[in-house]
Chain A
Amino acid sequence: MNTKTKTRLKMPYIILCIIIIACLAVYIFPLIFSVVTSLKSSEEFYESIWALPKEFLYSNYIEAFQIGKIGAYMINSIIISAVSLVSIQVFALLAAYALSRLKIPHVEAFLLVLLLLQVLPTESVIIPLYIIVSKLHLLSVPYLATILGYVGWSLPGTIIILKNYFDTVPIDLLEAARIDGSSEFQTMTKIILPLMKAPMVTCLIMNFTYVWGELMWAQVTTLLTDKGVTITVGLLNFQGQYGTNWPLLTAAIVTVIVPLLIIFVALQKYFVAGLTAGGVKG
């Protein structure tokens, strides 16, 4: 942009920046407020919700972890997320690679079905799936039923996104590898995957957000057991127990939010790159 337009646009530009900063403040304020509240004692909070804590009180966090079992719920959620995400990624990569590069007939039909399945709401499958997993006695194995649902429901969308990226890998590269005698699996792991970092991170973040935050299926699969209860279900139990003990509740909220934000900030460069390169279109 040349200097002339720059000076002419200066005033609206500054106003725009101010509006954005104001919006940012509104976005951040509840989080900051929660952090401050979580460091107060219950009495302090009820005296005045605005006052800063007299001394920083870590006991809410310790209590949330020990009595509220937030730590145990977190571990369950971490196990479920890790297994789900790895499975989704591996199965989706294999299928997407096949659809994009392994000369499957009627690819368009497969994609159309995947697209339809992707918009299908969980509501339409959750009750029968619950009956299936309970008939197969999968509910007594901790984590398994929960993970199965997450993997299955995330696969269609992930396959579509990854397939679109595989399409951008030049086909000559594959032909060259084949001529050199590399097997299809080797070609995929050694040559293609290194090119796929950004889209993989994008899918990873999207699926992680879903799996970590899902409530309905997590609740349904742990109806009859207290093993493998995820952080979302756990938080609700916690709320049921402690009602309006806001300092304690905000401590639990902050414990759940902060790791997520750290992960996102660390990966966001890839995330944006992945979205940009893919040119997500509908």
Chain B
Amino acid sequence: MDRKVKKKGVNRKIVLAGFLFMLPAFLIILVTIIIPLLWNIYLSFCEWKGGGTPSFVGLANYIQSFTTKGTRDAIAHSLFIGIISTLVSVFLGVGFALALYRIKGKLSGAARVIFYSPSMIPMTVLGLLFTFIFAASDKGLLNAVLAAMGLESLKHAWLSDRNTVLWVIAFIQGWRSSGTIMMLSYTAMLNIPSSLFESAELEGCGFIKKSRYIILPLIKQTVRLALSMTLVWAFKTYDLVWTMTQGGPANLSMTAPIMMIKTGFSYNQYGYAAAIGIICTVLIGLCIIFGRSVLKGENYEY
């Protein structure tokens, strides 16, 4: 009896310590995420210029977002960049991971660092670097390379042509995220026990068959996680676009986050900006659900 009471007391003390340990993180998350999120949802139904009390306008901001061509285009551009760059990054990332898993050894180690390095470098820096590479004049690296190879006809004003600017941005975004996908997939592959390959090797399966039937199904969970991550990153493309084109020329590369910041901080239409933010959030959620359902299926435990 006495012991039981004592144990209960100890347990309560542990739980109390637990809540104490969680308190700082909880407070910060409350102030930086939860309160702003609720406020943002409220604000998106209001008109507010930054001073005075917000006046409730119902769905007007949302209706305006979907009926204004500029905003609709910005959201469509974000979706385009999100989808293309996710495809690029999953393709490159998983491809590189498989190749590095196959070749092993020193080259694999060095390649891992180099393939991952773009993911470390700030987007702004990459943006500047790629502005340099894709610059329209002959001083642009890509145009210079094309000229040097005698492919003058392929030279482009990459960042001011409506047919190329979004592709260029989507590709850079995907290229950058591919490092993270490579790293996650590669480490997931390392966790596959070699016993699973034994029978495949006895059957004389090549690496391609092994990848198709053993490795890829087993790392599907990881790929799914990586997919949602890159989608979120890509949909949020702010820094890359801001550095390279600032949404221009003539809003051709305007993305939803840039639109939101401009609406809020340049035009002081905070309610409208909040609505754009909420629309982005919902669309990202839908994209993630869609992406995950494409890759759904059994999870294999090993």
Contact = CB atoms under 8 A, between A and B. Distances in A.
The answer to whether A and B interact is yes
Interface of A: 1, 5, 9, 12-13, 16-17, 19-21, 23-24, 27-28, 30, 33-34, 45-46, 49-50, 91-92, 94-95, 97-99, 102-105, 117, 119-129, 131-132, 148-149, 151-153, 155-156, 159, 178, 184, 205, 209, 212-216, 219-220, 223, 231-232, 235-236, 239, 244, 246, 249-250, 252-253, 256-257, 260-261, 264-265, 268, 272, 275-276, 279-282
A122 B22 CA distance: 23
A272 B10 CA distance: 39
Contact of A97 (B19, B21, B123, B128): B21
Main secondary structure of the interface of B (DSSP, over half): helix
Given A104-B19, A123-B257, A13 B103 contact: yes
A220 B32 contact: no
Q: What are the 8 A-B residue pairs with the smallest beta carbon separation, nearest first?
A: A152-B32, A282-B225, A213-B122, A102-B18, A98-B21, A215-B239, A125-B36, A128-B36
Contacts of B239: 213-216, 232
Given A21-B107, A281-B225, A275 B187 contact: yes
Given A98-B22, A123-B277, A257-B125, A13 B102 contact: yes
B194 to A, nearest CB: 10
A20 B191 contact: no
Contacts of B183: 272, 275
7 contacts: A98-B19, A119-B228, A121-B236, A214-B239, A232-B125, A265-B113, A272-B112
Interface string B231-268: 01001101100110000000000001100110011000
Interface of B: 10-11, 14-15, 17-22, 24-26, 28-29, 31-37, 39-40, 43, 50, 96, 99-100, 102-103, 107, 110-125, 128-129, 131-133, 135, 138-139, 141, 144, 148, 183-184, 187-188, 190-191, 201, 204, 206-207, 221-222, 224-226, 228, 232, 235-236, 238-239, 242-243, 256-257, 260-261, 264-265, 270, 273-274, 276-278, 280-281, 284-285, 288
A216 B222 contact: no
A84 B36 CA distance: 20
Contact of A125 (B40, B133, B190, B222): B40
Contact of B187 (A30, A132, A276): A276
A128 B275 CA distance: 12
Contacts, number: 272
A220 B261 contact: yes
Main secondary structure of the interface of A (DSSP, over half): helix
Given A123-B280, A220-B265, 19 more contacts: A12-B206, A12-B207, A13-B102, A20-B111, A30-B141, A95-B24, A99-B22, A103-B14, A117-B29, A119-B285, A124-B37, A124-B281, A127-B274, A132-B36, A148-B32, A153-B33, A214-B239, A235-B125, A253-B125
A275 B99 contact: no
Contacts of A249: 128, 132
B291 to A, nearest CB: 11
A16 B228 contact: no
B32 A121 contact: no
